[in-house]
Structure 1
């Protein structure tokens, strides 16, 4: 009875009447064709996601949301910014710009930031936390390679919270990995924890950003930048979207034109994604990436520990050696 009550609560929070309806909603976040591991795999690859920077209008509201809803620890907070993370690792920078215009949904920019739980049990514990605290959800789904929950922060920045299945269970056909958007096994998840008690005191130390999903104006142009200039490998393509990764992860980056086809340069005064960092495994790789960027005619500015570039729509990408 308790498990069913929690499932009904989660469906209500997702605005769905059934698991299949919630999967349909989740399809809007990842696509509907054919989608323990964890950060120990996703963040051990030659290139992996580091930290994300967002521009926000209401710093206190958004900071408190990532602290309370997601469980990130506030590592630093000033009148104009906040840094949050897990296990002492910074994952999210928030920059205040009061009065900033809201970035349009048909503009290039952030589709969602995906927070990767270390284990399936951690995802289950977080689900009970979300239900207990009535955190609004926008969908949840089984992507074959992972299990995912979708939601939005108070300023409309998309979020995915997910756990990976074991990499040896992923189905590859050459360089293409099988993914889907199937109903999430909520009952199975909730058997891993006590659904009557929320014991999610905060994000587990191993939580990291597993992947980024971006809105872009043109898939081929985005692929030339993120694959040709940055060095990601394609792992899957479908109508209006593509997925790329390093080291045969299912995807460190999703790109789509579902809402943003033909989008021009981003407004760097609007809310939303400012930049994200890609951590690279060696100084030699960093030098190779800089050469690749310059050959592609992309910007390549030297910064502390690395290089800063920008995709064709103005989203900054920082390549850093860690």
Structure 2
């Protein structure tokens, strides 16, 4: 682990700009199972009873994300059990949401969807850490077929209603970004922000994390994005560190790396590559 990374670092809330607040809110409430914690005409905050996980900012004038623009690949919501992931599948089917993919990544099982404005969404559960395949501090993830129907079988004994909300300990497990330059992304997220490299997929994808997790941030160039993030979609995401000492270390290393950042209350907002804002705070 890099000296400047907090071993307890995790992903906090993700902020998206959306044109149809009501429609997008309904998706994350009814399919993902998040609760609406705050709502006004211009903004909605969703999460668990005690934690903000998603902020939707109403921006009706924002154009669709250009086809060549970097930005969000998916926001990944981590459920605490296989049964809870099965319940999420039942919610998705009941709401008429289309599952666009389903994968066994060896460390996790995942379902993939898109929200009404095209933002990627992953719903997943982790396997126990002792079952993760690892070699020399690197995790060996893969993309294998997932038996989707077995999720419903495991769900049946624990849940009665597909419309039940997600469990209270649901989190944003990771964010996955589409970037224009993988080397520049690594320089920011690893060298400056302090995450460890956990896996490389040739020269096209990188997975980084703190505390030995399989990945808190995924980075890829698979779709050959060539311009900064713009239009609707990702505005910022949070990296939550354990204490003020860790935050001070991030502040120092961002400055040493020449990364632009600003103070916003008790948080630091850093300018990541491709026009993505990363808010670092203690939590």
TMscore range, shorter length: over 0.9
User: Secondary structure in 2 aligned to 1:302?
Assistant: strand
Q: CA deviation at 1:200?
A: 4.3
Q: How many residues align?
A: 276
Q: Pick from 212, 215, 224: which aligns with 1:251?
A: 215
- TM-score, length-scaled by structure 2: 0.93
Q: CA shift at 1:86, angstroms?
A: 1.1
Q: Which consecutive residues of structure 2, in runs of 5 or more, have no partner in the other structure?
A: 1-5
Task: Report if the CA contact (8 A) 2:205-2:219 is conserved.
Answer: yes
User: Alpha carbons of 1:199 and 1:137: their partners in 2 closer, same or farther (altered >3 Å)?
Assistant: closer
Partners of 1:48 and 1:280 within 8 A in 2: yes
Q: Deviations over 1:158-188 (max 9, x none)?
A: 0000000000100111121111111112343
Q: CA deviation at 1:198?
A: 3.4
Match of 1:206 among 152, 158, 169: 169
Do 1:128 and 1:197's aligned partners in 2 also have CA atoms closer than 8 Å? no
2:267 matched residue in structure 1: 306
Q: Structure 1 residue 69 and structure 2 residue 20: aligned?
A: no
1:84 is aligned to 46
What are the superposed Cα offsets for residues 103-160 of structure 1, whole Å, 9 maximum, x if unpaired?
1232110000000001111001111222233211111010000000000000000000
Give distance in 2, aligned partners of 1:88 and 1:105.
36
Aligned partner of residue 222 in structure 1, secondary structure:
helix
Q: What whole-Å deviation, never above 9, does each CA across 1:73-123 have from its counterpart, x for those lacking one?
A: 111111111111113211111111113111123211000000000111100
Distance 2:25 2:162 in 1: 21
Q: Which residue of 2 aligns with 1:284?
A: 245
Q: Deviations over 1:29-79 (max 9, x none)?
A: xxxxxxxxxxxxxxx952100000000111111111111111111111111
Are the equivalent residues in 2 in contact too, given 1:82–1:95 (CA < 8 A)?
A: yes
Say which SS state the counterpart of residue 211 (structure 1) adopts: strand
Matches within 5 A, 1:1-322: 45-194=7-156, 198-239=161-202, 240-261=204-225, 263-267=226-230, 270-322=231-283
Task: Indicate the SS of the match to 1:201.
Answer: coil
The 1:266/1:185 distance shift into structure 2, 3 A limit, reads closer
Preserved CA contact (<8 Å) 1:216 1:313 = yes
Give the root-mean-square deviation of aligned CA atoms: 1.6
Cα offset, 1:259, TM superposition:
1.4
Counterpart Cα distance in 1 of 2:224 and 2:19? 23
Q: Could you tell me how far apart the structure 1 residues matched to 2:66 and 2:58 are?
A: 18
Whole-angstrom distance in 2 between the partners of 1:173 and 1:200: 41
Q: Which structure shows the higher strand fraction?
A: 2
Structure 1 unaligned regions, length at least 5: 1-43
Deviations 1:287-312, CA, capped at 9 Å, x for gaps = 01101000111012112222110112
